[in-house]
Amino acid sequence: MRYAVEAGEPALAGDIVEDAGGVRLYLREGIVQFQAAHRLLTEDAVAARPRLALVRCVSLLLSGRMDEARARYGSLAGAVDGLQVDASGAELELAADHCVVRGMMLLYGSESMGSTMMRTHLADVARLVESPHLDVLTRGVLEYSRCLAGNLTGNIAEALDHAARARPCFAQSRYMSMFLDVQEGQAAMAQGRVEDAAELYQRAKQVATERYALDVEPAAVCSALTHELSLECGRAAPEAEPDRVPEALTRGSTPFQAYAAASGAVLEARLRDEGVESALAAADEMLDYVRNARLPALVRYVSALRVSLLATAAPIGDAERAWEAADLPPDAAGCLDLAGQTWREMEALSSARLRLAIGRRRFEEARSLASELRTAAAARGLKRTLMRALALSAVLERRAGDGAAAAAHVEEYLFAYADSPYAGPLVRERADCAELLAACLESAPGAAVGDAAPALLAAMVCADDPRQRLLSARERQVLQRLAGRRDKQIAAELGLSAYGVRYHLRNLFAKLGVRNRVEALRRAREMGLIRGET
């Protein structure tokens, strides 16, 4: 391409891009090679050829310039609309490129699953994948798209079936194989297969860091998903916990799953470590971003998380007004709908509405919604959602005064925990569930239920330990690295500047009542915040 441009043949450079797959060059080689090729395309070449205009759409989208990508895509309506997906030759190539770009626009634009554009896209993909003229990589990409759609809507078995079809098509694309690992990992997470999810995330991250180090998004996605999984299990994260959504996921366009996982995990960590006010402040920042970036599904999702936080902290009227202001569903059916929204939205909306009903003591309404949520989660094999529903059902019955029903929900949670060690949902509701859990342990100490109860009780005790709440997550990370490391070393390990480390050190010294590092380490050991040498 470079030689063609230097020889005054920009059209030849465009031919080379098209012959290399057009937008599918990105899917085969990754963002660095793709953007390098895109930079050699002239505006005249792009304007004259729809496939090259689609390449420019993807380049803008991957650069975080979503509004420009939307405008460019809109200008192509006459050239790409009405294409026959059962075509062949050049028309098939254009139709395939268009399907890929439209799918990326929907994914990065956080489009509603029930929108006309989304439904049209999924129907076209289902027809196009049947074409006998498709090349192997494109067929794999279309199967990957269907896997992604299944994951989003909670059709996990269907998602895994499409993943199995896509896998052999990516033999020559480590890039797409990496993203397929991420999708299979999210399916495992939703089903409660924790070890499988962790292994798939780790494998994808290893490929991202070793082969695509200049493309920061895949590694950031894997880190966010790993952090979410650790929090759901009530475990310490295997790496530094972020105190905000990673910058790589806040550039004006972002995949729904990645931002949803990252934002939910950050809010849970803030709530655990710094309290509800800190979590609400973070939720407000997130809402500003997703609203300004015009990401509709994420606006609904983050709004629902914010309502849940308000329902646990503020007068319930504040939470109800926030629900109405965000234009969230007016009834339970809208919360539970999986035809028009993702399972993460369904989970967040239903949980928030349950908290509102419990807070207003509308117990019959809450029972109906909780029952439907448990049924929907069980039918789709959404173990994580089911366990959240069981924890909230126990809270509901305890506050309604039905101790036997509350205990039954806790016992069901314990049986689920034996297969899927998601401690987080019940630990979050420990104010209502700790006594119920202790009673289960006392009544059946040798049963399978009794084996799970001690681990959950220990997690609840740890969560209530004031020593753990004294310091923020970032301050604890700095504290653990004080011995034997300079500020620059700590900064490099935690992804901070040296000034950021010193800022956290000042806060540490103030909270511990000390003047220097030696005193901080001694006081931290005395308080049980760290043990021995670090």
Q: CA angle, corner 122, sides to 121 and 124, nearest 5?
A: 65
Specify the pLDDT at position 238: 65
Biggest alpha carbon–alpha carbon distance for the chain: 83
Per-residue model confidence (pLDDT) at position 129: 92
Among 89-98, 342-351, 424-433, the range with the most confident prediction by mean pLDDT is 342-351
- Separation of alpha carbons 76 and 206, rounded Å: 38
3-state secondary structure 149-201: HHHHHCCHHHHHHHHHHHHHHHCCCHHHHHHHHHHHHHHHHHHCCHHHHHHHH
Q: In the predicted model, is pLDDT for residue 451 greater than 80? A: no
Q: What number of other Cβ atoms are within 10 A of residue 44's Cβ?
A: 11
The average pLDDT across 84-88 equals 63
Given a cut of 60, whether residue 448 has pLDDT beyond it is: no
Answer whether residue 533 shows pLDDT above 50. no
At residue 170, does pLDDT exceed 60?
A: yes
Residue 409 pLDDT: 96
Q: Does residue 83 have a pLDDT over 80?
A: no
pLDDT tens per residue across span 487-527: 999 988 888 888 888 888 988 888 787 889 988 888 887 76
**pLDDT tens across 171-192, in order?**
989 999 999 999 999 999 999 9
For the CA atoms of 209, 210, 215, 219, what is the dihedral angle to 10 degrees? -20
Angle between helix 256-274 and 136-153 (nearest 10): 40
Q: Does pLDDT of 459 surpass 90?
A: no
**What does the pLDDT look like over 27-45, one tens digit per residue?**
988 899 999 999 999 999 8
Residues 251/108, Cβ–Cβ less than 8 Å:
no
pLDDT above 90: percentage of residues in the chain: 66
- Three-class secondary structure of residue 526 per DSSP: helix
Q: Phi and psi for 173 in degrees, rounded to 5?
A: -135, 95
Of 421, 409, 414, 406, the C-alpha closest to 450 is 414
Tell me what percent of the residues of the chain surpass a pLDDT of 70. Answer: 93
Q: Residue 46: name the closest of 75, 86, 88 by CA.
A: 75
pLDDT in tens, 298-332: 999 999 999 999 998 878 999 999 999 999 999 99
pLDDT at residue 466 in the model: 61
Q: 166 and 143 in contact (C-beta within 8 Å)? A: yes
Output the average pLDDT for the chain: 90
Going by pLDDT thresholds of 50, 70 and 90, the confidence category of residue 534 is very low
pLDDT band with cut points at 50, 70 and 90 for residue 450? low
Tens digit of each residue's pLDDT (9 = 90 or more) over 462-489: 777 666 666 777 888 888 888 889 999 9
Are the beta carbons of 302 and 286 closer than 8 angstroms?
Answer: yes
Tens-digit pLDDT profile for residues 103-160: 999 999 999 999 999 999 999 999 999 988 899 999 999 999 999 999 999 999 999 9
520 or 288, higher pLDDT: 288
The predicted-structure confidence for 218-253, as pLDDT tens digits, reads as follows 999 999 999 999 999 987 666 667 778 999 999 887
- Contact criterion met (CB below 8 Å) for 260 and 298: yes
- Alpha-carbon distance 370 to 391, whole Å? 10
- Identify the band that residue 446 occupies on the pLDDT scale cut at 50, 70 and 90: low
Give pLDDT, residue 372: 97
Looking from the CA of 343 toward its CB, the CA atoms found within 13 Å total 28
- pLDDT at site 275: 87
User: CA torsion sign, 477 to 473 to 233 to 197?
Assistant: negative
Among 105, 176, 109, 107, which Cα is nearest to 136's? 176
pTM: 0.86
